[in-house]
Amino acid sequence: MILAFADEAQLDDFEAKLTNLAEGRSVTYQNIIYALDGLDHWRPEDRTGWALGREGFPDGDSILLDAELWPLARGNESDRLRRAFEQWAKERGGEIVDAVRQPYLTIFRLRCPQQLARELLRHRDVRTLDLPPRLGMETSLVFTPIQELNDVPSPPDQAPGIVVLDSGLAAGHPVIAPAVGDSQSFVAGASPADQHGHGTFVAGIALYDDVAACLQNRRFEPKLRLFSGRILNDQSAADPLLIENKVGQAVRYFREEYGCRVFNLSYGDLNKPYQGRHVSGLAVTLDALSRELGVLFVVPTGNLKGDEAGPSDWRGEYPGYLSAPSATLIDPAPALNALTVGSLARNELNPRWPGDPAYQPVARTDQPSPFTRHGPSVNDAIKPDLVDYGGNWMIDARTDGGLAAGRQGLGELSTNSSFATQNPFREDSGTSFSAPRVAHAAARILGEIPEAGVDLCRALLVAHASTPQACRDLLADDGTIRNVTGYGLVDRSALYRSVEDCVTLWAQESIEDRRHHFYEIPVPDEFWQGGRRNREITVSLAYRPPVRTTRIDYRAAGISFKLVQAESLNAVARRFNAAVARDSVEDISERDAGRRFTEQARSRGTVQASTWRFKQPSPSVRGSSWFVVVTRNDPAWGANLVREREPYALAVTLADRLAEQSRLHTLVKARLRTQLRARQTASRTRPNPGAR
């Protein structure tokens, strides 16, 4: 069959169909495309797989590649085309290492010279060419005997607590026991012990963050105290009593008895997907408890299930199904005052059969996990707030692209509740295991900043988050990126304390309705100096308003921020105060050049952030002062629910990571000391209020 096109527009339309088909999407008249003998107009960039496009061909005389062929023929003709391709590759110095030969799937793993690698991108029958999976788990870590590990010390006396509300805890696990503060059951007739294993697995991550790294270093040193509240039964599900009541009992107990403020709740109700209307169920309970008790809940988005309810072709339809209506958040993920966490894939290589091309990961490293769910939450608030590593899945190409059965070696490592009779560690995948990483980071902040409230924890976490480039390359547009990954993955390098190339300033304040707070950012002149490079200012804000499910607004208070440049603080204050008098504050625009999240997008949530990137600062940018303006503007219906002064936390980071020998931290500290001395001098010389 030969296709002829009347004009370039028709050719473009046909090529668009080919692109959709190559990415696993359904197209009209695909039976005609499958009947074609060849595709001579398919370009090298169309054949370039995601990993190859991102990293390019590896160095070396001989490289390993996966070539997937077009399924353009059936039966004996298909076999003939495969043999022809193999012969063609061998004549050019290629070696077929392994292959998958299924009726509608052909993958060759080739070892080939650089010249052949480039020719493959122009071969008529090649659908995609990509790098094989590379990053995988060290399977030996799972079998690490306890005897090879250090004697685990107790956490410091003043270590903050972290509470895991789950299926209980195997409190005697050797790397957990020294850190356990208390373990209680809130399930009638059940002990605090973990009969399912989920709670112990989550607890290991909540306590240590990266269990695999601890195993590699053969060293476990807890920096937190661990508490466990059993709220789930032996099947890791809620029992007939309302889970809202059990969570409330558990939170009050650990808050009152031990002063705990960070609670990880890796739970999701598949019967309560968020449908874009009112927030309900456990999410409302968490929002109310967070405000009442001054606590932080960290929850997952929930998982897509790897069963008949999932996509028919997990790899072929990825990542499109991540944004489908069937993949929305599940309760309690829509909670606005909680931190909701989605999942990223870390591992992509099957450790048991690393050379078998039939085993293909659904996601590559730093892409969204194939089971993570998407937002937004109520009134289009950004959810999830963050993402972290929670595992990956793979397909077995020999079974029509179905998910590979059993443990796949692509998950995250943590503690095994059956350590006494099995291995002390195991691997698993799910958003349940990305959430405790964020909970760990939040609790660590409380240890580093004792005076910090939970709003500051939230503000600091999103201030240090960014979307991995792999997600940006994969997902279609900014809206999809935001709904799947939120503010991104937290960078721990400067989270707990400032470093020379990244400085964080923060404030905890309270504000009245229809008022502004003004903050000048102490940007050193050296920040703008030098050549073209990325410099970043990030602003984040968090607060916990009262909520009502009977209102579309849901939030009874509204606090937001703008980043503006001006000549002086007085000029900014005059501008905003005049706008208040005209009731037109929303008309004052903030800087939009180089901005990551618009004010409209971020202000719908109760934790908000945006980053401004400056590559080549203009004279106007260099000569201006920079201010953050925090504004409170409540809906009228919430007047009886809010406080006269609503508390909030603000964080600002300055980052100059590409500067040679950055001294940003030193320069900011010096500028702050100068400003403080100037204020003290002004205070000493100012006359008393009644003096003449």
Binning pLDDT at 50, 70 and 90, where does residue 35 land?
low
Q: Determine the average pLDDT of the residues in 44-62.
A: 85
Edge to edge, what strands does the sheet with 105-113 contain? 95-102, 105-113, 62-69, 126-130
CA nearest to 285, candidates 245, 228, 254, 252: 245
Q: In 3D, which of 250, 233, 172 has the Cα closest to residue 198?
A: 233
Q: Tokens at residue 40, please?
A: 């001579």
What's the confidence (pLDDT) of residue 357? 83
Residue 584: pLDDT band (50, 70, 90) is: low
pLDDT of residue 690: 34
Helix (H, G, I), strand (E, B) or coil at 417: coil
Q: DSSP 3-state assignment of 36?
A: coil
Q: What average pLDDT does range 551-556 have in this prediction?
A: 83
Q: What is the pLDDT of residue 463?
A: 98
What is the pLDDT at residue 682? 46
Cβ pair 340, 383 in contact under 8 A: yes
- Scanning 3-74, the segments in alpha helix (DSSP H) are 8-22, 30-34, 44-47, 50-55
Contact 329, 380 (CB under 8 A): no
> Is 376 strand, coil or helix?
coil
Nearest by Cα to 474 from 549, 567, 363: 363
Chain segment 210-266, per-residue pLDDT in tens: 999 999 888 999 999 999 999 987 776 665 557 899 999 999 999 999 999 999 999
Only one residue has tokens 């999942």, namely 343
Mean pLDDT in residue range 682-691: 38
pLDDT given at position 119:
92
Q: Position 357: which residue type? A: P
> How much is the average pLDDT of 649-666?
92
402-403 sheet: strands from edge to edge: 359-361, 394-396, 402-403
CA torsion sign, 393 to 206 to 475 to 40?
A: negative
For range 440-467, the mean pLDDT: 97
**Of 14-18, 349-353, 466-470, which gets the smallest average pLDDT?**
14-18
Q: How far, in Å, CA of 64 to CA of 109, rounded?
A: 7
Joined together, the tokens standing for residue 145 give 């005997």
- By C-alpha distance, which of 196, 204, 155, 202 is closest to 175? 204
The answer to whether 516 touches 647, Cβ cutoff 8 Å, is: no
CA distance 150 to 139: 20
pLDDT tier at 31 (50, 70, 90 boundaries)?
low
Cα distance between residue 210 and residue 444, in whole Å: 14
| pLDDT tens for each residue of 396-406 | 877 766 787 65
The strand ranges marked E within 37-146 are 62-69, 95-102, 105-113, 126-130
Question: 92-95, long-range: CB within 8 Å, 24+ apart, which pairs?
Answer: 92/116, 92/119
Q: Which two tokens stand for residue 646?
A: 């609503």
pLDDT single digits (tens) 469-496: 999 999 979 999 999 999 999 999 999 9
For residues 283 and 141, which has the higher predicted lDDT (pLDDT)? 283
Q: What is the mean pLDDT of the chain?
A: 87
Q: Which residue has the higher pLDDT, 298 or 61?
A: 298
* Alpha-carbon gap, residue 120 to 127, rounded angstroms: 10
Q: What secondary structure does DSSP assign to 453-500, as a single string?
A: -HHHHHHHHHHTEE--HHHHHHSSSHHHHHHHHTT-EE-GGGTSS-BT
pLDDT at position 1, please?
44
Mean of the pLDDT values across residues 567-577? 86
pLDDT in tens, 530-540: 888 999 999 99
Can you tell me the distance from the alpha carbon of 310 to that of 435, in angstroms, rounded to the nearest whole number?
22
Q: Name the residue with tokens 């997937």.
A: 68
Residue 148: the pLDDT is 79
Which pTM does this prediction carry?
0.84
pLDDT tens digits along 126-163: 988 988 877 666 667 777 777 878 799 999 999 999 99
What pLDDT is attached to residue 684?
A: 42
H helices of 156-281, in order, are 198-208, 211-217, 243-258
Q: What is the pLDDT of residue 683?
A: 43
Residue that wins the pLDDT comparison between 21 and 50:
50
**346 and 205 Cβ atoms separated by less than 8 Å:** no
CA atoms within 13 A on the CB side of 247: 27
Answer for the pair 92, 115: CB distance below 8 angstroms, yes or no: yes
Task: Identify the weakest region by mean pLDDT among 499-508, 552-561, 601-610.
Answer: 552-561
SS3 190: coil
- Tell me how far the alpha carbon of residue 52 is from its chain's centroid: 24
CA distances from 610 to 334, 521, 592, 601 (A): 21, 15, 10, 10
Task: Sheet with 535-542: list strands edge to edge.
Answer: 502-512, 645-655, 535-542, 607-614
Q: Which residue has the higher pLDDT, 179 or 574?
A: 179
CB 381 within 8 A of CB 486: no
**Distances, alpha carbon 466 to alpha carbons 361, 366, 536, 628, in Å:** 24, 12, 12, 20
So what's the pLDDT on residue 498?
Answer: 92
Quick check: 688 pLDDT over 60? no
300 vs 434: CA distance, rounded Å:
7
Using 50, 70 and 90 to split pLDDT, how confident is the model at 685? very low
Residue 663 has pLDDT above 80, yes or no: yes
Rg (CA), the chain: 28
Residue 692 clears pLDDT 70, i.e. is over it: no
**Residue 65 corresponds to which tokens in the numbers above?**
């590649």
The residues facing 627 across adjacent strands are 520, 564
Among 341, 336, 242, which Cα is nearest to 286's? 336
